């Protein structure tokens, strides 16, 4: 588990973004926990959330094979360089309205911070030119006009960032909009993967379905398995043996095949 994710998980109950009990989901399932990303509004939580997103976005499959941070003319050999630079495989973070809007812009500085330890002080980080964009719910008929705000996505490689995938409707709408504008969707990152199958006739999770349909990697900052692991370690306030038992029962009943 990344340091950023390790830091984030115990903070989730502080604004009741993560609670335990009995909750009826839209699918009709009885869940032993409930996650509400709308409550991640404090400075400390937002910092931890963006840092955790950045840890995913500065790792494979969203980075390519690292390069040496020194040129061939450098007096230092590659063997003396313990911290090669990961190269981003995308140009733009796109945040679907509304929750993705804040994420798309807020994550950018954390990309630089995550990559800082890998970068020679005299070298420009390969993440310095990553940009953000988001969509308006209604196209603007005046001024600059259009449906998009931020970096033009034409001919750019785009990663979509959002909070969760349920039916996947918002993600598909974002993909269609980006493609209409000439952009190339290369991945999706969401905050939580519930890791439950889509239904009695659908053995895949929502993330698995989205990844197969879109043909791009779809990753989550936090997986249900991470929550269970943190509860097992006693790191989640308000969750003990009973909560752990019910979460494991839920996992066994609804576990997806991906």
Q: Which residues are catalytic?
A: 140, 142
Q: Which residues of 53-84 are buried (b: 16+ CB within 10 A; e: fewer)?
A: bbbbbbeeebbeeeebbbeeeeeeeeeebeee
What letter would DSSP give residue 76? S
What letter would DSSP give residue 163? S
Which residue, 59, 257, 66, is CA-closest to 159?
59
Tokens of 203: 């053995």
Tokens of 13: 């109950």
Please check whether residue 119 is in contact with residue 85, taking contact to mean a CB–CB distance below 8 angstroms: yes
Sole residue written with tokens 């984030």: 8
The angle subtended at Cα 221 by Cα 169 and Cα 234, nearest 5°, is 125
Helix, coil or strand: residue 190: strand
CA distance 22 to 62: 36
Tokens of 222: 């936090």
Which residue, 123, 112, 134, is CA-closest to 57?
112
CA distance 40 to 42: 6
Please check whether residue 249 is in contact with residue 223, taking contact to mean a CB–CB distance below 8 angstroms: no
Tokens of 82: 């313990």
């Amino acid at each position: 588990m990344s340091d950023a994710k390790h830091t984030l998980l115990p903070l989730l109950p502080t604004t009741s973004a993560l609670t335990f009990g009995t909750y009826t989901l839209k699918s009709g399932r009885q869940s032993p926990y409930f996650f509400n990303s709308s409550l991640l509004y404090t400075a400390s939580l937002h910092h931890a959330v963006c840092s955790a997103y950045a840890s995913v976005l500065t790792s494979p499959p969203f980075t390519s094979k690292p390069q040496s941070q020194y040129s061939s003319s450098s007096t230092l050999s590659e063997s003396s360089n313990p911290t090669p630079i990961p190269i981003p495989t995308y140009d733009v973070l796109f945040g679907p309205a509304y929750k993705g809007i804040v994420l798309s812009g807020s994550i950018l500085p954390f990309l630089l911070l995550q990559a800082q330890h890998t970068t020679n002080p005299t070298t420009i980080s390969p993440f310095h030119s990553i940009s953000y964009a988001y969509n308006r719910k209604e196209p603007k008929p005046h001024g600059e006009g259009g449906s998009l705000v931020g970096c033009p996505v034409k001919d750019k490689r785009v990663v979509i960032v959002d909070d969760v995938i349920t039916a996947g409707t918002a993600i598909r709408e974002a993909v269609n909009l980006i493609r209409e504008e000439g952009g190339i969707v290369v991945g999706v990152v969401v905050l939580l993967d519930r890791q439950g199958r889509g239904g009695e006739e659908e053995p895949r999770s929502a993330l698995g379905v989205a990844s197969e349909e879109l043909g791009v990697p779809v990753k989550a900052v936090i997986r249900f398995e991470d929550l269970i692991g943190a509860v097992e370690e006693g790191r989640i306030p308000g969750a003990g043996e009973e909560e752990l038992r019910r979460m494991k029962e839920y996992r066994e009943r609804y576990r997806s095949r991906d």
